[in-house]
Amino acid sequence: MRTDTPATRTLAIETLAIDTHEQVIHVTDPATGLNAFIAIHDTSMGPALGGCRFWPFASEDEALADVLRLSRGMTFKNILAGLPHGGGKAVIIGDPRKIGTPALFRAFGEAMNTLEGRYTTGEDVGVSVADMQHVRETTPYVSGLDSGPAASGDPSPLTARGVVAGMRAALEHRYGLASFDRVKVGVQGLGHVGFALCGLLHRLGAQLTVADLNETQLRRAVTEFGATVAAPDDILAARVDILAPCALGGILNPHSLPRIAAPIIAGSANNQLSDDEVGDMLWRADILYAPDYVINAGGVINVAAESSGHYDKRQVMRQVCRIGGTLQGIFARAKCEDRSPHRIADEIALERLRAARALQTAA
């Protein structure tokens, strides 16, 4: 059970020297159990933006490795989404159901203040809109709230919309198809994004095969969308036109790759490739992979609008739909250069990052 504890003054903040990142801090607060890393990867494009993940990491080393990787990924994601933001991320170590108290989130907010607005946080795995409201009690550097002048709420439905835009681009590139009618889609994970994605695809006429560990979500998908259920171990091998990983990272690896039957992979999960070589293997196997940080940017586009102080839903929707155009360009270049789309996306991000850094140096 989550219980509240009084606010404390036991916050300890240590700055870590990590030369690949602009700033990394380790925050501990014995009174609330807060043990977190916050990493700012790069602010050349603007103040860093990225969510806060709450997870029972096996060790501090594992949590640190994750925050470094995720914050770098946010730099790339924000660049490809055309946002005026750099990349940052926070991870809190522990089981959110056991230690995720309002006091812990308030202490986390106090730690955010020490970064003086160079990083704005938001929801990620294990953190809810309600949790972020508690962070907001102690810091202004938080987005994804459901109250306030520019509140944008849960980013997941917008992430799902971006995934649909990306799937559309993939269908068009691969088959010249402009419609989802009777297109078979396998969705792994029926959480915040996966379930919303199923709803959108069902309305567009797609036929769904779904997998999750949560029986209730599976039953809902069967009742509401007429979905077919696959066992968690079988979804990767499902005979579908598009596979949408919407659960775990690292799901595309040398072990899983031979089992994948879908000619297109397009889903929301972060860090789907266990490593870059797996992306190359997918390309050689004639499987079109939509780079995860490009296709799943809908949520951060939504959050960035809130951060700007002027939330305009229609403007956000237009920006989210542009994910499709970005992917079309990446797929076309991949075909032309005979290289995996993830290599092309990385290259575009790095080119833009170098240009922004050069401008900063010249200024």
**Contact status: 88 vs ligand NAD (CB under 6 A):** no
The contacts of residue 163 (CB under 8 Å, 6+ apart) are 193, 197, 244, 246, 266, 267, 268, 295, 296, 298
**Contact status: 96 vs ligand NAD (CB under 6 A):** no
* Phi and psi torsions of 52, nearest 5°: -115, 120
* Phi and psi torsions of 169, nearest 5°: -65, -40
- What are the start-end ranges of the E strands in the chain? 12-16, 23-29, 34-42, 48-49, 52-55, 86-93, 119-120, 184-188, 207-211, 228-229, 242-245, 264-265, 288-289
29 versus 212: smaller Cβ distance to ligand NAD: 212
43 versus 268: smaller Cβ distance to ligand NAD: 268
38 versus 295: smaller Cβ distance to ligand NAD: 295
The contacts of residue 170 (CB under 8 Å, 6+ apart) are 242, 264, 266, 288, 290, 327, 331
Q: Exactly one of 102, 194, 279, 324 binds ligand NAD (CB under 6 A); which one? A: 194
Q: Which of residues 255-274 bind ligand NAD (CB under 6 A)?
A: 268-270
**Contact status: 121 vs ligand NAD (CB under 6 A):** no
Quote the Cα angle for 102-107-109, to 5°: 95
CB of 293 to ligand NAD, least distance (A): 8
CB of 284 to ligand NAD, least distance (A): 25
**Contact status: 188 vs ligand NAD (CB under 6 A):** yes
User: Which residues are tagged catalytic?
Assistant: 89
214 versus 360: smaller Cβ distance to ligand NAD: 214
CB of 184 to ligand NAD, least distance (A): 18
Binding site for ligand NAD (CB under 6 A): 125, 155-156, 159, 188-194, 211-214, 217, 232, 246-249, 268-270, 296, 299
